[in-house]
Amino acid sequence: MAFKIEYTYQAEIDVTKAIDYYIENSSRKIAKSFYNKLIEAEKILKSISFFQKIHNDFHRLPLKIFPYILIYKIDKETEIIKIYRGFHNSQNPEKYP
């Protein structure tokens, strides 16, 4: 069963801010690497979607190399994984969505 990935508006903002941060503070190469790790995480989620459950029906998947986690929910009926946030690990855990 292959799931479809969708991003909430807030998750899109989170990802865009992360990419912009890496472009401005590191390099385009690092920003591209971040994006590639994000795509890699999506591929993993499409095939193995049940990672660590954190609260109610929310799960999280850390990105490789980068200090970000994807916070998402799984809808088994529609086969959609909705990513709600891209959360930087150094942020206060109390801010977890």
Q: What is the tens place of the pLDDT at every residue in 28-49?
A: 999 999 999 999 999 988 887 5
Tally the residues of the chain. Answer: 97
The CATH-assigned architecture of domain 4-89 is: 2-Layer Sandwich (3.30)
- Give the pLDDT score at 15: 96
Handedness of CA 79, 85, 91, 95 (dihedral sign): negative
- Give the pLDDT score at 92: 55
How far CA 61 is from CA of 8, 26, 42, 49, in Å, comes to 16, 24, 10, 9
pLDDT band at 95 (very low <50, low <70, confident <90, very high): low
User: How much is the pTM?
Assistant: 0.83
Q: Do residues 37 and 63 lie in contact, with contact meaning Cβ atoms separated by under 8 Å?
A: yes
- Give the pLDDT score at 90: 73
Q: Do residues 86 and 13 lie in contact, with contact meaning Cβ atoms separated by under 8 Å?
A: no
- Give the pLDDT score at 53: 64
Percent pLDDT > 70 in the chain is 86
Determine the average pLDDT of the residues in 78-93. Answer: 83
Q: Which helix (H) or strand (E) holds 54?
A: strand 53-55
- Give the pLDDT score at 6: 96
Q: Which residues pair with 5 in a beta bridge?
A: 81
Determine the average pLDDT of the residues in 55-67. Answer: 88
Determine the average pLDDT of the residues in 77-84. Answer: 93
Among residues 74, 78, 97, 75, the alpha carbon closest in space to that of 86 is found at 97
